[in-house]
Chain A
Amino acid sequence: MKIKAMMFDIFKVLIGIAMVSPVIIALIVSFMPKADIMTSPFELTLVHATFQNYIEAFKYLNLGIYLKNTAVMLIICLPAQLLTALLAAYAFSHFEFPFKEALFTILLAVMMIPGETIMVTVFKMISGWKLIDTYAALTITSLTNVGAVFMFRQYMKSLPKELWEAATMDGCGYNAYFGYILVPLCKTMIVTFSLRTFVTIYNSYFWPFLVTTKDSMRTVTTGVALISSTSHSGLTLAAAITTSVIPLIVYAFGMDKIVEGMTAGAVKS
């Protein structure tokens, strides 16, 4: 029985290896010298393993610049989305005010408009404002996140009412309540949201591709895609692997939290 269970366990790992085999293949090829990749018929081998592709990727390609541009996007968009979503969620969960329902419905309606279907119009607006190839173009459309507003609101509504009543009764200001009590209480959700949004922004392709034309403004994803059309496979895959390391690390460390957040946001009861 024990052996049978063990075999089954190993079988599951083998399926997993098959599933990630494209990544493993890319990893192997990225360490192969150009001559080996070019030989026909092609053979997957590490007999001449070398770091040459990685060295060249950093030397001759603008990997560093791509990483910097993606970093700028992350540094601006992630905190902005977090702050605006927390603030809006605070309003919708803790206050009563005229038109509250109407405003909330407006945000609900926004969720029904898939970003892709209005992308070209937003692109026309951005190019009309002469913002192509600027950081403004890369970031301005992702400064807020309506999905996050709903997620945080749901959680804030679940907090005990007594907390809010006691704090305001004792003269705690609205800003102080937000900063000292509410945000710390949301810490776990903030971490979860940040991890997931980090990867989403890092991996985004369509929008950065639309609004950048200069190589010096390319992000990691659009830059690597560009490399693939001009460089040999070893170099391309070295760049692909290098840039995948960061989101992989984020997932490896935050997997449990990310899964928790994914399912919490997805299925509401």
Chain B
Amino acid sequence: MKKQKKQLLYPYFLIVPTLVSCIIFKFYPFLKTILSSFSVTDQFGAWIGWAGTTFWEMMFADDAFWQTLVTTLKYALITFVGTFVIAMILAMLSTKHTKLGKVSQMLYALPIAIAHSTSSVIFLFVFKGEGGLLNSWLGTDIAWLTKADTAFWAVAVVTVWTHISGSFLYLLAGFRGVSEDILEAAIVDGANSFTRAVKIMIPMASPQIFYVLFLNIISALGVFTQVKLLTGGGPSGATTSLMYEIYLRAVKFGEYEYACCVSIVTFLIIFVFTRIQFAFEKKMVYYQ
């Protein structure tokens, strides 16, 4: 009897560590973030009293918030397009096994191992105004990281650069997975390489393609490290992303409740994209 009871509980013991950790560090903070956005809290985030929609109204009336939102969506759009186009070209180039193929493939994949913070530190040296590499090569004297438009593009370029390798590897796996038989049959039928790419390779690698597209959008919506290290969100908030705004409000300015509102907006945006991804996956993607 005792043994049977122990056996009954056995699977629960196996799940307990994961479940407890999820409840403490995922569910509870998630609910608390929502609650706190409608509350007043002390310096440790403990609940003091209700604030109603004060902080939400404050956020929606704040031009800085809208600017941050637009900037982040622009980052996501640029990362989405830029990374995809470049990774697609690289993956197409690498599909066939060639003599030096391993070398070029290794080079395309290398940046994936470099931390975003390290890439930012390296690009800082390229972009910085005084003694920076770009200025010395172009013979210019431009403060790339402190002018609104160039600073924005600097962050975008680094974000794209850090995302290319991962996307490349996914896409390459997708293209390599297309069966040789189908491709040979297409060649026999007289399909040229362009037709093969558009009519066979891309449709058959569509699971990987969709995955990469959404992975990049969702990842770019959470951009923080590059902003923190390259521009510090400046000049006057021109490069601030949602994540950086959350950090500034909660940690630097002690406006935790406001940060919670921005967090929930970020969550909702990412959630919408995730739902679209699922819907697309179910409907359009070709699975073998």
**B106 close to A (CB within 8 Å):** yes
User: A106, B22: Cβ atoms under 8 Å?
Assistant: yes
**A136 close to B (CB within 8 Å):** no
* Distance from A25 Cβ to chain B, minimum over Cβ atoms (Å): 7
User: B131, A128: Cβ atoms under 8 Å?
Assistant: no
User: A120, B170: Cβ atoms under 8 Å?
Assistant: no
Q: Assuming A12-B101, A97-B8, is B113 touching A90 (CB within 8 A)?
A: no
Query: Pick the contact of A26 from B108, B122, B247, B259 — CB < 8 Å?
Result: B122
Within 8 A of B (CB), among A93-108: 95, 97, 100, 103, 106-107
User: What 1/0 flags go to A59-88 for Cβ under 8 Å of B?
Assistant: 000000000000000000000000011011
User: A91, B104: Cβ atoms under 8 Å?
Assistant: no
In the complex, chain B residues whose CB is within 8 Å of the CB of A269: 207, 287-288
Q: Assuming A13-B104, A15-B104, A247-B113, is B17 touching A144 (CB within 8 A)?
A: yes
Question: Interface stretch among B26-34, B56-64, B186-194?
Answer: B26-34
Q: Label chain A's interface by main secondary structure.
A: helix
User: What 1/0 flags go to A1-20 for Cβ under 8 Å of B?
Assistant: 00001101110110111011
Within 8 A of A (CB), among B1-54: 7-8, 10-12, 14-15, 17-19, 21-22, 25-27, 29-30, 32-33, 36, 41, 44-46
**A122 close to B (CB within 8 Å):** yes
User: A91, B15: Cβ atoms under 8 Å?
Assistant: yes
**B163 close to A (CB within 8 Å):** no
In the complex, chain B residues whose CB is within 8 Å of the CB of A193: none
* Distance from A268 Cβ to chain B, minimum over Cβ atoms (Å): 9
Chain B contact-residue range equals 35 or more
Within 8 A of B (CB), among A222-236: 222, 224-225, 228, 233, 236
**Identity of the chain B residue whose Cβ is nearest the Cβ of A251 in the assembled complex:** B113
Q: Which of A37, A103, A149, A266 has the most CB atoms of chain B within a 10 A radius of its CB? A: A266
Q: How far is the CA of A23 from the CA of B114 in the complex (A)?
A: 9
User: B124, A121: Cβ atoms under 8 Å?
Assistant: no
User: B93, A15: Cβ atoms under 8 Å?
Assistant: yes
Q: Assuming A113-B30, A114-B222, A228-B229, is B256 touching A124 (CB within 8 A)?
A: yes
**B178 close to A (CB within 8 Å):** no
**B136 close to A (CB within 8 Å):** yes
Question: Interface stretch among A40-48, A50-58, A157-165, A184-192?
Answer: A40-48
In the complex, chain B residues whose CB is within 8 Å of the CB of A141: 25
**B282 close to A (CB within 8 Å):** no
User: B118, A41: Cβ atoms under 8 Å?
Assistant: no
User: A116, B104: Cβ atoms under 8 Å?
Assistant: no
Within 8 A of A (CB), among B78-117: 90, 93-94, 98-101, 103-117
Question: Interface stretch among B147-155, B195-203, B261-269?
Answer: B261-269
**A110 close to B (CB within 8 Å):** yes
**Identity of the chain B residue whose Cβ is nearest the Cβ of A43 in the assembled complex:** B136
**B224 close to A (CB within 8 Å):** yes
Q: How far is the CA of A97 from the CA of B107 in the complex (A)?
A: 49
Additional A-B contact list (19), CB under 8 Å, known A91-B12, A110-B26, A266-B211: A10-B100, A13-B103, A16-B105, A20-B110, A84-B17, A95-B14, A103-B15, A116-B243, A118-B33, A120-B256, A120-B259, A125-B45, A128-B44, A140-B25, A146-B18, A225-B228, A248-B110, A255-B109, A263-B174
